[in-house]
Structure 1
Amino acid sequence: MKIGISGTGSYIPSIVTKNEAFLNHEFLGTDGSKFGYDNSTIIEKFRAITGIAERRYAEPELKTSDLGYLASEKAILNAQIDKEDLDYIIFAHNFGDLTQGKIQGDTLPSLATRVKHLLKIKNPKCVAYDLIFGCPGWIEGIIQASAFIKSGMAKKCLVIGGETLSRVVDEFDRDSMIFSDGAGAAILEADPATGEILAHASLTFANEEAYYLYFDKSNRSGCCQDTRYIKMQGRKIYEFACIHVPKAMAECLDKSGVGIDEVKKIFIHQANEKMDEAIIKRFYKIYGKEVPENIMPMSIHELGNSSVATIPTLYNMVLNGELPEHNLKKGDVVIFASVGAGMNVNAIVYKY
């Protein structure tokens, strides 16, 4: 059975925040100490490593479920399906709906249920649920939806990845410059006219790696002690990703039966430009190859790291011709790959 993506959509928020917006921030270390250099130096080093020059923040009136709904509308329209025919709505996120200025995430009801409500889907057999799997959540949602279709439990599924990370960052933490907001969505169905998932791989490392990404108090001691923010051990994540993501990608590719030279594009989670480049280099090294030119589309420079939304929004941008130097034609083989909190790693080999 051929199972593929028949439609995509995304919502990129309109609020652009450039690196210069952080020049007057008070950045502190995890122990509350000040750095030995000014913010212009911090920002310069940050851009050199991450590649991020600006990022997008959600409009104050919109929550994560709203972003997911707006992306889903476009995906349904692009796939030219009746929304009432959807069997599953899977919404991958990590923090629920976050209202600007409030400290509590809201997941009651689930964000998938909220999207179903906003879409005005009446069919009760359209099952809606959320998936928390770190940044690889959207890929994992595609893997789960594919399994539902393959088993005969579903014919059409909507998989969403969305986040408003700008509302869970600690303004006193320089890592706050990494994170952004956005949402991407895809329709998955069994249809010879669509593409085809050729193989997948999923892994969870939950021993010493489990808390490389975590929730903790502000770096500034005077802040509310009841509020928690997204925190990460950047160096450990970098080293972990460079070891485990290339291996997962190779395992997935070998399982697919596709040769390395047949891969046309690699859509990797937009976490950090230097890290992504290192992952791709190590992946090709496994096969004794150099990295081909123009193999890896990137959106992190303008959009930042929107967690589960980075891959579906990037894929949608390429399909819509928004990255002119990157394009796909029918039959091209691509790889989706991600790493994130958990620590989770996954990949899909996909024939467009």
Structure 2
Amino acid sequence: MSTNIKSVIIGTGSFVPSNIIPNKDFSEHRFYEKSGEPILRENSEVIQKFQDITEIEERRYADKEHMASDLGYFAASNAIESSGTDPETLDYIIVAHNFGDIAPGSTRVDVLPTLASRIKHRLGIKNPDCVAYDLPFGCPGWLQGMIQADYYIRSGDAKRVLVIGTETLSRVTDPHDRDSMIYADGAGATILEGREGATEGILAHKTQTHTSDEAYYLYSGKSSNPDLISDDQFIKMDGRKIYEYALKNVPLVIQQTMEKSGTGIDDVKKVLVHQANGKMDEAILKRLFKLYGIRETPMDVMPMTIAKFGNSSVATVPTLLDMILKNKLEGHQIKKGDRVVFASVGSGMNINAMVYNF
């Protein structure tokens, strides 16, 4: 591994579907507990409590004719255009997702060929040395793709890597589960380039996988509606356990990554965290600063998009980054020399973090 080569972001892209689904669209749903017991409270009360906890007001769903690979292609094209890169010079295309391409009205997963191969094909890349593969790693998948790309680049094996996070979670949600209101669709992409002696670039990263008791906090299961006779599998979760797990572990992984990079808490200009749950993300930030003895947390350090975009899994962080770098997120900028922390948590249970110097 070369310590003189830095993995530098040279382009970003994203695709946010135009279909806005406000919370009121769930007013007529019949919600059930995971036990199959009907929730007897008024839906207006259920929805308001959901919004209070997650801060989600609306989310975006993909057009019916678009699959996850389509959204990934749109984001990738956007990143390639912004970087001015010849796509034939890409050494790797890493596509993070969880459920592959899913047709509307179905929960059947389609991953043959891989989404990475589909996107490479659609980009028209002829170079066989451009290796395309998928990375299923839960919500931290895009960030793990960035970490893998950094290893390739610093080893000298690769010069340029395209990392994509794309998902259509709306197609694997159980309409009878309150948690279905969390999920959204979208895609984000980033191009990393190896540069000798660069001051900017990835400084450090760390990943953990906890499976002793935590492996099935997120899982696939049948509908909460006991009257729905179907073999369909939907995304399910134990929200309380995930919340407690994230608050306990994510700040520690971030701290360890910062220590690896020689970054102090005062050096951090932004924290880009997976948009999973508004209240949870705010609590993670407070716990992080508390580790450094700081009680008054500067909330402007953590930009958020979850209120309007929902949780699009692997797409949340690269979309957030793209919007900031292109001045599309009011009140937030990243300047040259800024140190930015990236972090994510998700099924597995997996956690990762990265420190980047812009």
TM range (shorter): over 0.9
2: distance between equivalents of 1:265 and 1:163? Answer: 25
SS in 2 for 1:231: strand
Structure-2-length-normalised TM-score: 0.97
Aligned to 2:302: 296
Q: 1:197 aligns to what?
A: 202
Question: Per the alignment, in what secondary structure is the counterpart of residue 301 of structure 2?
Answer: coil
Instruction: Give the distance between the partners of 1:121 and 1:318, measured in 2 at CA.
Output: 29
Q: CA deviation at 1:148?
A: 0.4
Matched-pair contact (CA < 8 Å) for 1:199–1:256: yes
* Equivalent of residue 127 in structure 1, options 131, 138, 152: 131
Partner letter of residue 304 of structure 2?
M
- State the Cα distance separating 1:207 from its structure 2 match: 1.3
Please give the alpha-carbon distance, in whole angstroms, between the structure 1 residues aligned to 2:28 and 2:40.
Answer: 15
Deviation at 1:323, TM superposition (A): 1.2
Cα deviation, residue 194, structure 1:
8.3
1:211 lines up with 2:216 in the alignment: yes
Structure 1 residue 114 corresponds to structure 2 residue 118? yes
Given that 1:6 and 1:194 are in contact with CA atoms closer than 8 Å, whether structure 2 keeps it comes out as: no
TM-score of the superposition, structure 1-length normalised?
A: 0.98
Q: Where do 1:213-252 residues align within 5 Å? A: 213-252=218-257
Distance in 2 (CA, whole Å) between partners of 1:108 and 1:273 is 35
Partner of 1:53: 57
Partner of 1:104: 108
Shift of residue 193, structure 1, vs aligned partner: 6.8
- Give, as a single letter, the amino acid of the residue that structure 1 aligns with 2:215: A
Query: Quick check: 1:3–1:194 contact (8 Å CA) kept in 2?
Result: no
Look up the match of 1:184.
Answer: 188
Runs of 4 or more off by more than 3 Å in structure 1? 192-195
The one-letter code of the counterpart of 1:20 is: K
1:140 aligns with 2:120: no
In 1, Cα distance between equivalents of 2:194 and 2:156: 10
SS of match in other structure, 1:2? strand
Separation of aligned partners in 2, 1:277 and 1:16 = 24
**Of 71, 94, 99, the match for 2:75:** 71
Whole-Å Cα distance in 1 between the matches of residues 326 and 303 of structure 2?
A: 13
Of 155-164 and 96-105, deviating more is: 96-105
The aligned residue for residue 7 of structure 1 is 11
Q: Output the CA distance in 2 between the equivalents of 1:202 and 1:239.
A: 18
Partner letter of residue 282 of structure 2?
Answer: E
Between 1:230-239 and 1:33-42, the stretch displaced more is 33-42
The verdict on how the C-alpha distance between 1:270 and 1:199 changes in structure 2, with shifts beyond 3 A counting, is: same
Provide the alpha-carbon RMSD of the alignment: 1.0
1:344 aligns with 2:350: yes
* Deviation at residue 189 of structure 1 after TM alignment: 0.8
Q: Do the aligned residues in 2 keep the contact of 1:6 with 1:195 (CA within 8 Å)? A: no
Task: State the partner residue of 1:282.
Answer: 287
Is contact 2:277–2:306 with CA below 8 Å preserved after alignment?
yes
What is the rounded CA distance, in whole Å, between the counterparts of 2:198 and 2:126 in structure 1? 28
CA distance in 2, matches of 1:55, 1:195: 34
The Cα of 1:4 is off from its aligned counterpart by 1.3
Read off the aligned partner of 2:347 and give its amino acid letter.
A
Q: How many Å separate the matches in 1 of 2:318 and 2:107?
A: 28
1:291 Cα deviation (Å)? 1.4
C-alpha separation in 2, matches of 1:275 and 1:252: 20
Deviation at 1:225, TM superposition (A): 3.0
Alpha-carbon distance in structure 1 between the residues aligned to 2:299 and 2:243:
23
Report the counterpart of residue 320 of structure 2 in structure 1: 314
1:325 aligns with 2:312: no
1:314 and 1:331 mapped to 2: Cα distance?
19
Percent identical pairs in the alignment equals: 56
Separation (CA, whole Å) in 2 of partners of 1:326 and 1:208: 38
Distance (Å, rounded) in 2 between the aligned partners of 1:257 and 1:116? 37
Number of residue pairs the alignment of both structures matches: 352
Gaps of 5+ in 2: none
**How many Å separate the matches in 2 of 1:287 and 1:184?**
32
Distance 1:223-1:291 versus aligned 2 partners, 3 A rule: same
